[in-house]
Structure 1
Amino acid sequence: MDIKEIQSLIKFVAKSGASEVKLETDDIKITIRTGASGSGHETTYVQQLPVAQAPVAPVVPAEVPANQTPPAPPSEENSKYITIKSPIIGTFYRKPAPDKPLFVEVGDTINKGDVLCVIEAMKLFNDIESEVSGKIVKILAEDSSPVEFDQPLFLVDPS
């Protein structure tokens, strides 16, 4: 069940006048309660139920023929770059406001202290400043997407 289906269910329950509706499937459990006095207040609880996982078979590395070398891990090509990571959990924004230009784009030269993005956490907008000078090589997070603590956001070439 996706978020649009949940929102449609909430609207339907609110219009129907029911005070409480419970829905349970194999992987999700939803309880929707509406105010009995017609106050329009709704409470929705969405609970993800644990799913039994099948045992995982051990991974056996494939053999590499003697005349070939194994492929290099992708992280080695990025080892010369500095990764700027999220210092907090929140929503990542590349612009200070919807009608404003982006803070930085790939190819931009940045200096220490330049604002690279904003992360919204608990209705507070936190400027994320660069701790290094260099050139933006890659932007690793999508605009308006949730980010975790220590999640890579930018790759910077310090040279």
Structure 2
Amino acid sequence: MKTSEIRDLIDFISKSGLNEVNIETKELKLSVKREPDQKVFKSTPVVAPVATQAIAAQPVAATQNAPAAKVEKAAAEVSSGKKTVEIKSPMIGTFYRSSNPDTPPFVSVGDKISKGQTVCIIEAMKLFNEIESEFSGTIVKAPVENATPVEYDQVLFVVELD
């Protein structure tokens, strides 16, 4: 048997879904064995029914997607009547509300902030990056929990402008 024929046979076996093949002739003994494909288990999240008021009071999940962020922003503008803006993560990393566990958070919901004020820290590759506000206002939402991973462009805070 030629090398090209062996390659073709191996390709055929891999496409057929067989896990083991043994071929024996007068001049050749060939055994091909592969590990069976691993089973992939899929799960769907269980959603418990919750009252509408409870949903409005809960912070936005850290894994929100962009359309949900726009809906939240629009809802905040409609309910308060004032303009809100979002402070978004400029990088991927771990979000921290304070410089260490023993100190109070840089900002909390209801706090007034000014332009250039540090609002949180994001750790990326063992570097701690202070995130500063680009505007003045009042923190109305803080959807990300302390010491959780954040994605690029994820909403960290919603600020109502003064």
What interval of TM-score do these two structures reach, taking the shorter chain for normalisation?
0.5 to 0.7
**Superposition RMSD on alpha carbons, in Å?**
1.9
Larger relative contact order (Cα-Cα within 8 Å, sequence gap ≥ 6): 2
Q: Any stretches of 5+ residues in structure 2 without a counterpart?
A: 1-36, 43-70, 78-82
User: CA 1:125/1:77 → structure 2, altered by over 3 Å: closer, same or farther?
Assistant: same
2:57 aligned partner: none
Q: Radius of gyration: which is bigger?
A: 2
Mapped pair 1:154 → 2:157:
yes
Identity %: 53
Q: Identify, as 1 or 2, the structure richer in strand.
A: 1
> After the TM superposition, which residues 64-143 of structure 1 pair with which residues of structure 2 at under 5 Å, given as runs?
74-79=72-77, 80-143=83-146
| 1:77 CA displacement | 1.9
- The code of the aligned residue for 1:96 comes to S
Q: 2:95·2:149 contact (CA, 8 Å) conserved in 1?
A: yes
- Secondary structure of 2:140's match? strand
Query: CA–CA distance in 1 between the matches of 2:130 and 2:72?
Result: 30
Moved beyond 4 Å, runs of 4+ = none
- Secondary structure of 1:154's match? strand
Q: Any stretches of 5+ residues in structure 1 without a counterpart?
A: 1-23, 29-50, 52-72
User: CA 1:74/1:143 → structure 2, altered by over 3 Å: closer, same or farther?
Assistant: closer
1:26 aligned partner: 39
Q: Matched residue pairs, number?
A: 93
Query: CA–CA distance in 1 between the matches of 2:104 and 2:155?
Result: 22
Q: Identify, as 1 or 2, the structure richer in helix.
A: 2
